[in-house]
Amino acid sequence: MTDRNRLLLIAPVIAMFVGITPVLGATPEPTITPGSEQGARAYYAQISDQLHFTAVPGTTRLDDLLVFLGYPTTGDKLRTLDPGVLMNPVQAAAPTGLSLSINGLSGATLREDDILATRFFAPKIVNISQTPLTIGWRKLVRLRSRPDSAAARAGVQTAIILFNFFAPAGQDPFSNQSINTQVMLIAPAQPKGLLWLDFDPNNVLGLSLTASFDAADLGGTRDYYVPDGCNACHGSPGNSAPPMINYLDTDHWFDRLENDFAALKSTNTALLFDAHTNDPTQGPFFAAFDIIRRFNEEALKQNSIAQPNTFEAQAARVWLGLHAQSDQHFSPVDRAFGNEKWQPTEADGLSRLNRYCFRCHGSVRFSVFDRQAVVERAGIMRQRINPSQAQIRESSTFKMPPDRTLDFSEIQALDEFLKNLK
């Protein structure tokens, strides 16, 4: 039987099983490792000991963490202040700024690059199985631990705070609450070198983030607990390796305007929100893009220490190489890396991988931009997008992608593309 015939024959089966609770299959489970409440509590207890910072779920606030880092201010200020204000040391002490006492710690003053902040479109956090889509946005604030802070004494060099916002296309998302606020503490001297915390919309320490990685399979969002859920997408599946910071892929954001986020494109909203434009020739775009570039340089530095030879680090290098002198949007084919580069004739297929798979396979196990990695996995990927009944029955996590239900025609197109890869 040819593959095509096989696809046709099992199409009703796919329609029956894919994306809904399988009648005959395994109990739906998340594909992305969710971790557990118990594990998260144990983790917080462990990092409390490590850092001498009291991380108590339900009690500890983001404000406490900011004090720990040497920034006695509030999480709300961090969330609401314009990045331009946040990054300006001159405004740090002002009531309209962070209200920081900049000389408060052994006379240390806020330095020029102590705070990095940017806001941007975040397709990665969107529940792609919903119609219409609610657009996801993020505000990233990177704080360097102030020299005499408790964090600095504990070896925490920087904190990366990610606020997550949602709003319909065309609406200002940043006036909303942050649904989850994720924190990475970069502490190279500590075991694993990167530690996780997660805060709820009220800035209170929580055990998990609520996310839509498995939304199609599970019928909606679910909780992913620290640290397992975080490590899964940050280079440490099974918590075996030092986790890594993921670089910000501006090019991917612009790619997605051409498919799932056409509605966002029609509103002409700036994806680099602080640029107020998507025109890379405009000055504000330069400035906003440069913040991303600086962050990605730092991400690569961390990657190079944690796991220097990984695809994640390689992808960050590629982004930085392409954007060393350019703020332009580079096409997926231009962003290929590895021993074998994607060819222009493969652009359609790569575009599908980028659209359907990159959300995870930009940072989990392999990158779709590494052609050789895809070729090596092509057979398995074909099984994943079009599993046998036995595979469906065995595990709800086998089918890919887990976050949306692919049209049958798209399954066919992906299958054909992957099948012909050599």
Partner 1 sequence: MPTLRIYPAIGAARLGNSQQSFVGPEEPGIPGNWDSGAQRFRAFRDGEGKILRQAARFRIFQFDDTGNAIKEITLADGVRITWTVHVANRKASFFTFNGQSGAETDPPYTGRAARKPDEAEKEDRGKGQPERKNFRNPAVAKRSDLEIDPGPVSISAPGVRELRDSQTPAPIKLLGHIQMENEGHLLVLGGFGETEFQGPVLHAIDEYASNDGWFDDMSDGLVSASVIFPDGHTEEAEQAWVIVGPPKFAPGIRNVVSLYDTIWDLAVRNQMSCQAGRDPILQDLVAQQQAWQNTTNDFASAYVPSFTQHIYPILSRAFAARDVHEPPTGFPDYHLTLPDWSRLSQRPDPQFRQAIFNRIRNPNSNVLDRKNMPRGLGDDYTTLDDFEFKGAPQPSARAFLSLTQVQYTLLKAWAEGRFVDDWKFGDVRFAPIPAPGIVTPHGLDQAALENCVGGPFYPGIEVSWLIRHTSLYAGAFRLQKAGFLLGPLTFGAGFFSQQMALPWQADFYDCHKEEHTEDGSPEPRIYMWWTAQRPDDIRAVAGGPYRRWVEPFDAASQTQDPDDVANLARFEQMRTRWFELKFVILDGEDFVEEK
User: Could you list the residues that contact partner 1 (CB under 8 A)?
Assistant: 1-3, 6, 26-27, 29, 31, 33, 228, 232, 235, 237-241, 307, 310, 365, 376-380, 382-383, 387-391, 393-395, 397-398, 418-419, 421
The nearer residue to partner 1, 2 or 175, going by C-beta atoms, is 2
* ω into 22 cis (within 30 of 0): no
The nearer residue to partner 1, 85 or 316, going by C-beta atoms, is 316
Query: What SS3 class is residue 197?
Result: strand
The nearer residue to partner 1, 18 or 115, going by C-beta atoms, is 18
Pair 89, 103: CB distance under 8 Å: no
The nearer residue to partner 1, 57 or 229, going by C-beta atoms, is 229
Closest approach of partner 1 to the CB of residue 369, in Å: 18
Residues 200 and 6: their CA atoms lie apart, in Å, by 47
The nearer residue to partner 1, 199 or 398, going by C-beta atoms, is 398
Determine phi and psi for 5, rounding to 5 degrees: -60, -40
Whose tokens are 């074909």? That residue is: 382
The nearer residue to partner 1, 228 or 346, going by C-beta atoms, is 228
The nearer residue to partner 1, 6 or 52, going by C-beta atoms, is 6
The nearer residue to partner 1, 290 or 394, going by C-beta atoms, is 394
| Strands, sheet with 158-167, edge to edge from the N-terminal-most edge strand | 115-121, 135-144, 158-167, 181-186, 194-199, 205-206
Closest approach of partner 1 to the CB of residue 309, in Å: 9
Residues 391 and 254: their CA atoms lie apart, in Å, by 35
Q: Which pairs from 38-42 meet CB under 8 Å and 24+ separation?
A: 39/225, 39/227, 39/228, 40/207, 40/208, 40/225, 40/226, 40/227, 41/207
Number of Cβ within 10 Å of residue 189's Cβ equals 9
Closest approach of partner 1 to the CB of residue 233, in Å: 11
H or E segment and range at residue 158: strand 158-167
Q: Show Cβ contacts of residue 12 under 8 Å, excluding neighbours closer than 6 positions.
A: none
Pair 123, 252: CB distance under 8 Å: yes
Pair 321, 337: CB distance under 8 Å: no
Q: Show Cβ contacts of residue 172 under 8 Å, excluding neighbours closer than 6 positions.
A: none
Beta-strand (E) ranges in 177-296? Answer: 181-186, 194-199, 205-206, 208-211, 222-225
The nearer residue to partner 1, 24 or 94, going by C-beta atoms, is 24
Number of Cβ within 10 Å of residue 50's Cβ equals 18
